Chain A
Amino acid sequence: MRGITFVRQFGEVVLAIAIAPLFAGWIAQCRAWMQNRSAPSLVQPYRMLRKLFQKDAALAKNASPLFRTTPYVLFGTMVLAAAIIPSLATDLPFARAADAIALIGLFATARVFVSLAAMDIGTAFGTLGARREMMIGFLAEPALLMVLFNAFLLSGSTALPSLVEFYNAHRFLIDPSLAFAAIAFVMVLLAENARIPIDNPTTHLELTMIHEAMLLEYSARHLALVEWASSLKLFNYACIGFALFIPWGIAAGGRNGSAATLLAIAALMGKLAVAGAALALIESLSAKLRIFRAPEYLATAFLLAVLGLLVHLQIGAR
């Protein structure tokens, strides 16, 4: 029985790694459609990864081992995060290994490494990107924590699986605090994943880059791993959002047959398709903010999350 759960855990992680680039490709396709451009193929991210893996890596002369190991660290942390987040089922061995606060710590580790690697070579753009990334990060993290606290107040636990189990026990629960938290979460998701109101993932102008500026020195397999890790990060954030706000379909309550797993996979795909289209819509409708407007944006997210907490306390526990 224990062995089976490990196999399922392995399957979940492999699925996450496999479909994360597909999710990024789907968002790019939706964005292209909404902007009346001809869309790139859905498998374009995979072709990109294959091309990059086939190339020879070029490293700067003064690159330290930190620069070379960072892509592996990034990819590793994101895979670990994918294992912790209950995207398909709740009774997996890794899901109990860490709670959501540790998960945020994991994301912070990745951020620290990528920023250090960006400053390692000593080019101006890398340092600039790293500084901006840290500014966004330190504003986004408290907002994300507040969003999570909103959900944790409902379920009384800081573990994501028990939250999903809680929802499973209380269907049709209407709590306005979750609406506030959901809006705040979407705002944090956009900021943390270098999406449009804060950063433009497709920009070619170095001066406005945040995330891309840190990756300028990477090439070939290193770049491939970093890009893959970014798409995994977006996928992970989406899965956190599903677990927090729309956990329908995730195999919970001890149901772990193949029917429940298939249903969970189908539900995940459906939710990803809708979420990707919604993200593309938000990105198409909004313009990139000036960097000095970013604190305003993230302060709004933080305030919304705190407001959710207050409303929850005011209305009282259910």
Chain B
Amino acid sequence: MVTRASIGPLLNVLASGLLLISFAMLSRRRTQRLIILFAWQGAILFLSTCLVAYSSGLTELYYSAALTLILKVILLPWILHRLISKLGAQWDSETLVNIPTTMLVGLVLVIFAFGLTQPISTLATTITRHTLGMALAVILLAFLMMITRRKALTQVIGFLAMENGLFFAATSATYGMPMVIELGIALDLLVGVFILGIFFFQIREQFDSLDLHHLEALKED
């Protein structure tokens, strides 16, 4: 049985795992790998939410942990996998900036996030106060991934990873959001992925590829 005193360090380890996965996502070229990493991120999120729920004694958090497990570890990766195999899109996803530069920018973002949250975490009293900086870093890194990638699928994965970061930030700052809001966000995500899946097919039909720079031209030449 986990003692309450050891939960703090364990949460730190899990938060670092999230950060590590965010960096791995930045450096991966293949879409298939990104989905697996996304599922892992969800699994870590589930574990950390369970730990926070256990240490704070809030039953609500168990529900949101279960929601995370079903939605982000099982359902969304499965949908994305099916989308990929239907689109035949297991190719390399190009990056705009080369990977070492992207990683360096990511490192600067991490420093920024840590510096920004330092005053907040010194004021907070929750068990998760140290992880707020890491949650913000995960959000910013997902942002960076959306900016540097061109393919529609990877941008969606970046968007989902950003939601993971937001969820984690919510649990670390205030022990989670109200249940209604969380249910709403979960539904939004699910529907969003469905709609974007339909969009993928439309985009591919129109341009013969999922590269988003085709969408930048407003009229046909």
Contact = CB atoms under 8 A, between A and B. Distances in A.
Given A180-B20, A303-B23, A304-B23, A310 B110 contact: yes
A289 to B, nearest CB: 12
B103 interface: yes
29 contacts: A174-B10, A174-B13, A176-B12, A176-B13, A176-B16, A179-B16, A179-B17, A179-B20, A180-B16, A296-B27, A296-B98, A296-B99, A299-B100, A299-B103, A300-B27, A300-B100, A300-B103, A303-B103, A303-B104, A303-B106, A303-B107, A304-B20, A304-B23, A307-B107, A310-B110, A311-B16, A314-B118, A315-B12, A315-B130
Interface of B: 6, 9-10, 12-13, 15-17, 19-20, 23, 27, 98-100, 103-104, 106-107, 110-111, 114, 118, 130, 133-134
B23 A179 contact: no
Main secondary structure of the interface of A (DSSP, over half): helix
Contacts of B9: 174-175
| Interface bin, chain A | 20 to 34
A175 B130 CA distance: 13
B12 to A, nearest CB: 5
Nearest to B98: A296
B36 to A, nearest CB: 15
A295 interface: yes
B100 A296 contact: yes
A316 interface: yes
Interface string A277-318: 000000000000000000110011001101100110111100
A154 B130 CA distance: 18
Main secondary structure of the interface of B (DSSP, over half): helix
Given A176-B12, A300-B27, A315-B12, A306 B130 contact: no
A307 B137 CA distance: 11
B10, B16, B130, B133: residue with the most chain A Cβ atoms closer than 10 Å? B16
Contacts of B16: 176-177, 179-180, 311
A175, A295, A296, A314: residue with the most chain B Cβ atoms closer than 10 Å? A314
B130 A314 contact: yes
Q: Closest 8 CB pairs between A and B?
A: A176-B16, A299-B100, A174-B9, A176-B13, A314-B114, A315-B130, A303-B103, A314-B133
Given A296-B100, A303-B104, A307-B107, A176 B23 contact: no
B130 A316 contact: yes
